[in-house]
Structure 1
Amino acid sequence: EGSLKIMAANAEQEEAQEEIEVDYDGEALDVGFNVAYLLDVLNNRSEETIEWGFNDANSSALLSIPGNERFRYVVMPMRI
């Protein structure tokens, strides 16, 4: 609770893992995303806070920036 564990793997069997502190009060989720789509957002925004909205592991996620009603980014999960 209160943390996000990020795990990445590629076709060459290489893996990486990182855990960061987050403000989250929902159920634990195991969900996968194409990292290229997430990097599109993260590499082009300078804000320190990005909100992620999830319903469940099979539904789209909505990324938004607090205080910026014009920015919305929807990303679909991958099967893991």
Structure 2
Amino acid sequence: MRKLIAFDDDTFDKLTQLGRDRMATIQELADEAFADVLKKHGIPVDLKDALRKSAAIDRAPAKSKARSGPVRKAKS
């Protein structure tokens, strides 16, 4: 899917230079940036991430149940 994104001249020049320095295209820089934004907000980027997150959610309640027993103070 194609979408048009506008950059001011200064930002575009800096992105172009960064792409040259890293030998990457603007598209590759954009893909990396958007993947970082999704990761920051806890949204899986691909199937592998979604499965990893799903497995972590399934394991989380089991750990909390094991620790939910009464808390005893140590004798001094």
Pairwise TM-score range, normalised by the shorter structure: under 0.3
- Larger Rg computed on CA atoms: 2
**TM-score, length-scaled by structure 1:** 0.26
**TM-score, length-scaled by structure 2:** 0.27
Quick check: which one's strand share is greater?
1
- The one of the two structures with greater contact order (alpha-carbon pairs below 8 A, sep at least 6) is 1
